[in-house]
Amino acid sequence: MATAIVIGAGLGGLATALRLKHKDYQVTVFEKNDYAGGKLHAMQQDGYRFDLGPSLFTLPYLVDELHSLFPEHQVPFTYLKKEIGCNYFWEDGTTFHAYTDQTEFIDHAGDVFVESKKKLQDYLTKSKSRYNLTKSLFLEKSLHKSSTYFSKETLKAIINAPFLGLFNTLHQENEVFENPKMIQLFNRYATYNGSSPYQTPGIMSMIPHLEMGIGTYYPNGGMHRISQSLYELAQEVGIKFRFRESVIQITHQNKKVTGIITDKGPFNADLVVSNMDVFPTYKNLLKDVKEPKKTLEQERSSSALIFYWGIDKEFPELDLHNILFSEDYPTEFEYIFEKKSLSNDPTVYINITSKETKTDAPAGCENWFVMINAPGDYGQNWGKLTATARKNIIEKINKCLHIDITKHIKTEYILDPRGIEKNTTSYRGALYGAASNDKFAAFLRHPNFNSKIKNLYHVGGSVHPGGGIPLCLLSARITADLIPNVS
């Protein structure tokens, strides 16, 4: 039987393992941690449950698709569609409920921000068109195979290139609106792939369509249920897992992969898929292979500084997703990407899964995942930065919610970029691999195959098509499509 090894049990690794098993490979997954899921992990502390990683769930069909590969195995995975995508707050008392129904969103946004409803409709129509024009080229196929460029979809995308916003920044695209708060709200979508709205190309204006055109969802049981349902399915279908076993080398001979060496010995395989960040894959596992310098030197995406707080009070004005906006958005991104630091007025994101899963917090309490965007780890004094950020975050919450939140924090756990890198081997703790602060960034990402070593493949957020749950799952699909069925 043909054998496949997957390095890393992150979301991309789990999805690829399932797809390879469906192609009749005998699959073994090697994972340095003692759990599956990568960034999609969870923890419990003092009666509160927290999802540690990604908190936004879109395109749920990509998870359903994996479960449907093995219809005879019924692993529970359900989700609900959210009516409100996010609640937004500003210090001047402005609040906005971002409905996922487009008509409701447009009506409410037009009223709150005094914007033209026609202009809002035109923007969201363009967002949908850009998504539909580019998903086949940028999200569903390898950008590094010539066959991709000989299709009707690609030709259509190339013809429409001037319409796609490739030559403007996202911020410039959003300046179609009059109200600075409306511009700021749409600028925020740059953070969905760890970039700056003042640098990332305008094509990123397609992202709102994911929320308002397709929908925002919540997995019953929390985000951790996504990775755990796939892990449980993988176990049921016979995929083997070797936890607490670090891969130290990918072996190859005559430009063809032969297997791996771990801290417990060598293992042979017909093909190897690395779900490890592409930077440490080359630096640590492929030391004898010439590295793709240009790819590895790409600017890294933003990271995060996260406070997990057990709160002894309920806040009816908050929902699953909440944003408390900075008063100076340009400076916030200047600090992150240019100064590699944190501004004193950060945008604060609060995710509260106990709004949907009541058992995630004690009765009358809430589990707050409080995050600010941060630079990667470049040797900063994270102890000092974290202490200052905590003070600034509390100040922002107090101003926007008119409360002294400090006295309601009953338990705390902190995760900074150093911890993210340590737990997931994401270089510098970058959440999305390379940043998309360049119109050519998509083409500079590492391909899903290795051009130097046959039968070696790459999957996950650091390679094509990018980071985040949907793109990691699409990465697994692209990678698996490159691998032939067992004959």
pLDDT confidence of residue 165: 64
- Judged against a pLDDT cut of 90, whether residue 31 lies above it is answered with yes
Average pLDDT over every residue of 286-306: 93
Query: What gap in Å lies between CA 115 and CA 180, rounded to an integer?
Result: 11
Q: For the segment 20-30, what is each residue's pLDDT rounded down to a tens digit?
A: 999 999 999 99
Least confident of 178-182, 206-210, 217-221, 398-402: 206-210
Q: For the segment 306-337, what is each residue's pLDDT rounded down to a tens digit?
A: 999 999 999 999 999 999 999 999 999 999 99
Residues whose CB is less than 8 angstroms from the CB of residue 343 and which lie 6 or more positions away in sequence, other chains included: 326, 328, 331, 332, 334, 335, 336
- Judged against a pLDDT cut of 80, whether residue 156 lies above it is answered with no
Q: For the segment 272-292, what is each residue's pLDDT rounded down to a tens digit?
A: 999 999 999 999 999 999 999
First-to-final CA distance of the chain: 10
Amino acid symbol at 206: M
Task: Work out the pLDDT band at 121, boundaries 50, 70, 90.
Answer: very high
Query: What gap in Å lies between CA 419 and CA 38, rounded to an integer?
Result: 13
pLDDT confidence of residue 153: 57
Average pLDDT over every residue of 177-206: 95
Q: For the segment 335-353, what is each residue's pLDDT rounded down to a tens digit?
A: 999 999 999 999 999 999 9
pLDDT confidence of residue 149: 41
Average pLDDT over every residue of 413-439: 92
Query: What gap in Å lies between CA 161 and CA 140, rounded to an integer?
Result: 18
Task: Work out the pLDDT band at 100, boundaries 50, 70, 90.
Answer: very high
Q: For the segment 233-278, what is each residue's pLDDT rounded down to a tens digit?
A: 999 999 999 999 999 999 999 999 999 999 999 999 999 999 999 9
pLDDT confidence of residue 443: 64
Residue with the two structure tokens 């900075």: 326
Q: Does residue 115 contact residue 182 with C-beta atoms inside 8 Å?
A: yes
Percentage, residues of the chain above pLDDT 70:
93
Query: What gap in Å lies between CA 336 and CA 189, rounded to an integer?
Result: 16
Percentage, residues of the chain above pLDDT 90:
84
Mean pLDDT score of the chain = 93
Query: What gap in Å lies between CA 207 and CA 442, rounded to an integer?
Result: 15
pLDDT confidence of residue 138: 63
- Judged against a pLDDT cut of 50, whether residue 148 lies above it is answered with no
- Judged against a pLDDT cut of 90, whether residue 464 lies above it is answered with no
- Judged against a pLDDT cut of 80, whether residue 158 lies above it is answered with no
Task: Work out the pLDDT band at 1, boundaries 50, 70, 90.
Answer: confident
Helix axes 102-113, 180-187, angle to 10 degrees: 140
- Judged against a pLDDT cut of 90, whether residue 421 lies above it is answered with yes
Which strand (E) or helix (H) includes residue 195? none
Token readout for 136 is 């086949």
- Can you say how many angstroms the Cα of residue 266 is from the centroid of all Cα atoms in its chain? 32
Average pLDDT over every residue of 420-446: 85
Least confident of 140-149, 185-194, 218-227, 441-450: 140-149
Helix axes 469-482, 11-22, angle to 10 degrees: 30
Least confident of 159-168, 217-226, 229-238: 159-168
- The domains located in the chain, with CATH, are 3-40+223-298+434-482 (3.50.50.60), 107-211 (no CATH)
Kindly write down the DSSP assignment for every residue of 318-363, as one continuous string: --SEEEE--S-HHHHHHHHHTSSS--SS--EEEE-GGGT-GGGS-T
- Judged against a pLDDT cut of 70, whether residue 11 lies above it is answered with yes
- Exposure class string for 281-303: b at 16+ Cβ within 10 A, else e: bbeebbeebebbeebbebbbbbb
Q: Please report which residue ranges of 51-139 form alpha helices under DSSP H.
A: 61-67, 102-113, 117-134
Token readout for 193 is 């792939």
pLDDT confidence of residue 150: 46
Residues whose CB is less than 8 angstroms from the CB of residue 51 and which lie 6 or more positions away in sequence, other chains included: 40, 41, 42, 222, 223, 224, 351, 353, 369
Average pLDDT over every residue of 211-215: 89
Helix (H, G, I), strand (E, B) or coil at 38: coil
Task: Work out the pLDDT band at 54, boundaries 50, 70, 90.
Answer: very high
Query: What gap in Å lies between CA 188 and CA 210, rounded to an integer?
Result: 14
Token readout for 4 is 């496949």
- Judged against a pLDDT cut of 60, whether residue 391 lies above it is answered with yes
pLDDT confidence of residue 251: 98
Task: Give me the numbers of helices (H) and strands (E) for the chain, helices first please.
Answer: 16, 19
- Judged against a pLDDT cut of 50, whether residue 484 lies above it is answered with yes
Query: What gap in Å lies between CA 120 and CA 174, rounded to an integer?
Result: 11
Residue with the two structure tokens 């009516």: 83
- Judged against a pLDDT cut of 90, whether residue 146 lies above it is answered with no
- Judged against a pLDDT cut of 70, whether residue 486 lies above it is answered with yes
Per this entry, what is the length of the chain? 487
